[in-house]
Each structure stands twice: as C-alpha cells, then as structure tokens.
Structure 1
Amino acid sequence: MLFSPPSHDTLYKALIARDPSHDGRIFVCVGTTGIFCRLTCPARKPLSENCVFRSSVRECLEAGFRPCKRCHPLHSAAEADPIVGKLLGLLDAEPGRRWRESDIAALGFDLSTVRRSFKRHFDMTFLDMARQYRLREGFLTLSGGERVIEAQLDSGFNSPSAFREAFARLLGCAPSMLKPGGFLQASWIPTPLGDMIAVASTTHLHLLEFVDRRALPTELSALQKALKTTLGLGSTAPTEQVRTELATYFSGKSSVFQTPLAAQGTGFTRDVHRALRSIPAGETRSYADIAIQIGHPGAVRAVARANGANKIALLIPCHRVIGADGSLTGYGGGLWRKQRLIEIERQFSISP
C-alpha cells in the first residue's frame, strides 16, 4: 500500500461506526472467528483485542483467515472487474476444485490478464487464492487423526501431488511424513494476529511461529535435524498450556507465560533469550542494552543474530527489541505484528 494506515484505535472506531472511508484499503481480521471482514460489515462487532487490521486480502489469507460470508470482502473487486467477479463466483460455487491455468483459459480468459487483475486487487494470483483456502482444512483434518487421503479430499485437492506440494510450502515436508503422535507434535493455534504453528514434546515447547513466516519450513527442518526426529501431529500438555496462555494474553488479562520452553542454540544465544524474557511487557530494549545486560557490550551484532534466530515467538519476546534510534527494525512475523504487539503490551505496563 502507498499510504500509512491509521492507528489501531482509529480503525477500531471506524469498524464500530461502519465507516466506509477505508473500504477496500483496510480489512479487519477477527481472531476469535478466524474470518476477515470489511470495516462496514454488519455482523456483531468483536472486541478490540481480538482484531488486527491488514491492508491487503493477501495478508489476511496468508495469516489463515477466511473471507466473511456477510460482508464479502472480495466482492468490491468483483464489482469493479468482471473477470475477477466471474472467477470468484466460480470459486465460491466449487471451493474444493483444484484450478489450473488450462481451466481459466478454457473459460475464454487471457491468463496474463487474469494474473494482473488478481495481483492488482489482492496481491496474489487466483490460483494462489484457491490453494490458500484449502490448505488450512487439510492441516486440521490431519491433526484430527485422519489419513492423508481424507485431508487431501477435505481440503479440495484432487491430486495427491498438489496437496503434498502445497503442504510442503507451509511446513517444509510432505503430509505423509506427519503422523499423529511422536516426540515432536505440531498443532495449529489461531490468534487475533493470525494463525500460529506450535511444536512441542510432552514436556517442552520447541517452536511457536506465525504460519506466514517465510522461514517456518527451514526452522522446522532444522529442528527435526537437530533432535534427530521427525515431526508428528497432535497436541501435548505444553501445547495446551501455551494455547490457554495465548488466549489470556490476547484478551489483555495477563502477560505471564509459564509454558516450559526448550533451550535454543549456543550458550550465548540462550543468554540473549533469557535477557529477552526479562524485559517487562510494555517496555522495550535496544540490541546494545541486551549486549550490556549479558556482559558482552561489544557483541551488538551477535545479539541481533541471536534475536533473529528465536523460534518461539511471543514467549521469548524478541518483538520487544528495537533499534537504538527507536525504530522497530526487523521482525520475522512482520513489522506490522511487532507494532501491534508493542501496542497490546502497553496495557500491561499500566498499574491498576
């Protein structure tokens, strides 16, 4: 987007008022329902802490949210562009269909025109959109103990190879490799800032990342290699504990996380992560501050690398580290999430 979006509070007021001035430019994702809407949606309004505002349909879909069936956030583009309207209508009619370029061409559409239209309106292609709709359902089906074939069919992939390919892009491995149970078990956790993948053993949480983090497949592969094990599906005690603590955190009730965490990396990296966990919610530190705290004042860059290597988001709060000049600097989950997390945590620093 070529504009700076208003603050969360301003957009939430616009949502309550059904202000049409942001229509088509800003969407609200509701963590408690897993859907995204226009700000003018007539549905019952969610609480502010359950909302996150995004500036593109792609951001909403890649974070695991589905379009609302009441306000139809995709329809404004459909009304403005007959090609988009036709294809979205077909997607709604056959949500489980595996679309190919040949299918689009058979309808008489020019492939390059369709690609440009969807990229312009949604920042993703039609084929990407159709695939994204289906992938989450496949993961949830596998997590419920069903076979790969059921997950493939539930997610609308007619071809096993297409399902494997899409799944591998998300988790870095074929779905057949993920069996219920095992030493490391992966689970899907929805949050107001987008869906997350949690990986835990029976005693410790090993990974917690947003599903749209680009490094997620690499991190999962490295984790399995380091522990000499394969990834399974399911929920363990640490998974359920962090699920409950995340819900409490996002509802504004508590910033305390007590889920047992597996140690990551070298001794230096662990020192950095301990320092991160000592930063009170509602406060921030610079990389230099952390370097001084752990007794290595000249290791600012090494601190930054250890910060970026963190695989357990939120519980090891690398989002609380900012640049020396006060800038947000990088964050694997996206700068917009870093800003929102800092805003959320300001309420925890206010004394009752």
Structure 2
Amino acid sequence: MISADLKKQYYEALVAKDSEYEGLFYVGVKTTGVFCRPTCPARKPKFENCEFYATAQQALLASYRPCQRCRPLSHPNQVSDVVRILVEAVEKNPEKRWKGQDFKALSIDESTARRQFKKRFGMTFVEYARARRMGLALKNIRSGRTVIDAQLSTGYESGSGFRDAFSRIMGAAPTQVDEEHVLKASWIDTRLGPMMAVADEKALYLLEFVDRRGLEREVERLRKRTKSAIVPGVTEPIRSIERELAQYFEGTLTVFHTPLFWLGTPFQKSVWEQLIAIPPGETRSYQDIANALGKPTACRAVAQANGANQLAIVIPCHRVINASGELGGYGGGLTRKNWLLTHEKQGDN
C-alpha cells in the first residue's frame, strides 16, 4: 500500500517528468484506462484521477493497459525506430558523410534525428556519425595506414580540417593517439534509467546514471586524466557490466566481478575498498568508514572521496548514510539511493 504522502511525492514527480523516479512507480490514469512511466510526455491527469503502483505488473492486474507514448513495459529511453535505423545505416557504411537527401531516402526528418540522438547519446546524429568515422580513421592509422589515407577515407579533402576534427572528437591529434589511449563509451538501459559505461578492453573506468548532474565534466576529466580519446563503442568489460547489472536488478547478483580501473588517490582508493566491503543490505556512516581507516578525524575527506566515486552501484557509495540515519547525498539522486538500499535489503531477507 502506497501512503498518501508518497502518492503526493509521486504526483509531483509525474508533473515534473522527473527521470530520477524511473522504475520506482507507475501511474494508472482512471479517465483513459492506461498506465504510464513517470516521464511520460502526455498531458498530465489530475491528482484524483491517478492510481500509483510499484510495478508494471500491478498496473496490468488493475486492468490498465500500457501507454503507447511512453511504453512503460520497455526500458526507460529505449532506442526509437529513428535511432535504430540510423545507427544500422552508419554501421553499414561508417565512412559515409551524411547529407540532407540521405535522410529523405530513409523517410526520416533531419531535425527529428538531431533531437533524438541528442537525447539518447548526448550528441547530434551528425556528431555521432562523425565520431564513428573518426573511430574508423583511428583504427586505420593503428593498422599501419598513413594519416593521409585515413583522412581521405573519412571524406576530408583538407589535412588541417581532418586534424582539427579528429582532435576535437578524440582529444588528441591523429599521430598522437594509439590503441592504449582509447576508451569506449556505451549506453546501458537499467531498471532505474539509462547509465553510461566507459571502458577499455581490460577494465571499466566509469559507470554513472546519464542524468547525473555534472556527468559531462566527469567524462571530460576522465579523458584528460587518462590522456585518452573517448569514442562510442563496446568492449568486453562493458558487456560484462551490462550482464551483471541485469542480474543485480533481478536480485540474483550481489557481488560484481567486472574488472575495474580505479582512478583516484591512495586515500580515495582506501575509502572505495571500504565501500566494497559493506555487505549488501547494510549501511555505514562516513564516521564508521573514517574509524575503519584508523583516521577518525577524516570524516569530511571520506565524504569527498565517496562523492568522487565514478563507478556507481559497483562501488556502492549508496550504502553510506549520515550518522543520524538520514540518507545523505547521492549523485544519482536520493530517490534512487533509497530504492537501491531497499532493493538490497529485500534481497538479503
């Protein structure tokens, strides 16, 4: 049974289309007979016409049918047909430079493609296709082809134009990038909304909710500190964490085995080791962790190290709460933090 206060909170989230509440509730609309996810773009019903459910199954059992606009039975932000068609087209011919008539040939509106890619990947379709071309150019350079060959294969007649475009996307000039300095970034759909994973072929560097405030700065900071190019793509650690996240949300996995790359100071790493040691279903305070490290006066430094964690869920900073018992902060939002803790406690029972 959902309390009256929680219903009001859910309604406010519905009106605000707050993505932090994705997967936490579904709303059945009495006047239409449909149920929706919190971020549904449809016109919002009155509060008295709403019924709230913890799962989609509960809404279905209450005789509501799924909304055709927000598709509550799919993952949040599941890829649209427009995005799917264009991604497939890029993969068929990654060296292609797209023009207006190419969109018309696929019966796709160019502005729609731009908007949907911006929402999905944080870049327009043209930027996505260009990044894919540049990724191919990088592969060609690593395989022994000359820079001029890579330049021409990606459609750039001007050498300076190619180098400038390459540097903007990759973060380094063509002759300065090698295989050891390329990270791949991929989008992972989860029960609580989409996450971004960044990894090389050996380890996972970053895992964050896409709507986390300051994520773009985190990615840029990662690129600079590792002196790496970050391009769209998938690696084995990304495949691994996607599988493990699915198992975690299903309640069948509590310990992650995907290899991690910890980019932090020795003190930060010592804090993160303490976080991983917290059993699922339990919590610790910042003071508890400071005491465990033998540095009882380092409570504030522990909190800062906790906030610097770039591997959400896997390094469970959500298990750290205030000494008063209050949740404290969380980069993914307090609503998600509360859900994660409840989910883990249920699995512990």
TM superposition score category, shorter chain reference? 0.5 to 0.7
Q: State the partner residue of 2:303.
A: 304
Q: State the partner residue of 2:207.
A: 208
Which stretch of the first structure deviates more once superposed, 132-141 or 306-315? 132-141
- Which runs of 5 or more structure 1 residues have no equivalent in the other structure? 12-20, 46-52, 61-66, 68-72, 79-91, 94-131
Checking the alignment, whether the CA contact within 8 Å between 2:274 and 2:289 is kept in structure 1 is: yes
Q: State the partner residue of 2:42.
A: 74
- Equivalent AA in structure 2 for residue 185 of structure 1: K
| Structure index of larger Rg | 2
Q: State the partner residue of 1:158.
A: 110
Give the C-alpha shift of residue 292 in structure 1: 1.1
Checking the alignment, whether the CA contact within 8 Å between 1:171 and 1:217 is kept in structure 2 is: no
- Equivalent AA in structure 2 for residue 38 of structure 1: V
Give the C-alpha shift of residue 338 in structure 1: 0.3
Checking the alignment, whether the CA contact within 8 Å between 1:140 and 1:188 is kept in structure 2 is: no
Q: State the partner residue of 2:242.
A: 243
Between the aligned partners of 1:343 and 1:326, the Cα distance in structure 2 is: 14
Between the aligned partners of 1:230 and 1:167, the Cα distance in structure 2 is: 22
Give the C-alpha shift of residue 254 in structure 1: 1.6
Q: Does 1:289 align with 2:288?
A: yes
Q: State the partner residue of 1:339.
A: 338
Between the aligned partners of 1:235 and 1:26, the Cα distance in structure 2 is: 33
**Equivalent position SS for 1:5:** helix
| Residue 251 to residue 158, structure 1, CA distance change in 2 (3 Å) | same
Between the aligned partners of 1:26 and 1:164, the Cα distance in structure 2 is: 20
Q: State the partner residue of 2:266.
A: 267
After superposition, where does 1:15-54 map in structure 2 within 5 Å?
29=22, 38-40=27-29
Give the C-alpha shift of residue 158 in structure 1: 2.9
Q: Does 1:192 align with 2:200?
A: no
TM-score by length of 1: 0.60
Partner residue of 1:170 out of 122, 134, 138: 122
| Residue 285 to residue 218, structure 1, CA distance change in 2 (3 Å) | same
Between the aligned partners of 2:292 and 2:300, the Cα distance in structure 1 is: 14
- Equivalent AA in structure 2 for residue 296 of structure 1: K
TM-score by length of 2: 0.61
Between the aligned partners of 1:228 and 1:221, the Cα distance in structure 2 is: 10
- RMSD (Å) for aligned C-alpha atoms: 4.5
Give the C-alpha shift of residue 22 in structure 1: 10
Between the aligned partners of 2:81 and 2:332, the Cα distance in structure 1 is: 19
- Equivalent AA in structure 2 for residue 338 of structure 1: K
Between the aligned partners of 2:259 and 2:120, the Cα distance in structure 1 is: 28
Give the C-alpha shift of residue 233 in structure 1: 1.5
**Equivalent position SS for 2:207:** strand
Give the C-alpha shift of residue 290 in structure 1: 0.8
Percent identical among aligned pairs is 37
Aligned residues: 258
Q: Does 1:253 align with 2:252?
A: yes
Between the aligned partners of 1:242 and 1:208, the Cα distance in structure 2 is: 9
**Equivalent position SS for 2:251:** coil
Give the C-alpha shift of residue 7 in structure 1: 11
| Residue 258 to residue 324, structure 1, CA distance change in 2 (3 Å) | same
| Residue 299 to residue 160, structure 1, CA distance change in 2 (3 Å) | same
Between the aligned partners of 1:134 and 1:303, the Cα distance in structure 2 is: 38
Give the C-alpha shift of residue 232 in structure 1: 1.4
- Per-residue deviation, residues 264-289 of structure 1 (Å, max 9, x unmatched): 21000000111100000000000011
- Equivalent AA in structure 2 for residue 39 of structure 1: G
**Equivalent position SS for 2:326:** coil
**Equivalent position SS for 2:303:** helix
- Per-residue deviation, residues 36-86 of structure 1 (Å, max 9, x unmatched): 95335868x9xxxxxxx97xx5xx3xxxxxx4xxxxx614459xxxxxxxx
| Residue 140 to residue 333, structure 1, CA distance change in 2 (3 Å) | farther
Between the aligned partners of 2:321 and 2:312, the Cα distance in structure 1 is: 15
| Residue 286 to residue 160, structure 1, CA distance change in 2 (3 Å) | same
| Residue 239 to residue 140, structure 1, CA distance change in 2 (3 Å) | farther
**Equivalent position SS for 1:231:** strand
- Equivalent AA in structure 2 for residue 228 of structure 1: K
Checking the alignment, whether the CA contact within 8 Å between 2:197 and 2:207 is kept in structure 1 is: yes
- Per-residue deviation, residues 206-255 of structure 1 (Å, max 9, x unmatched): 00011101111011101111111111122111111111111111001121
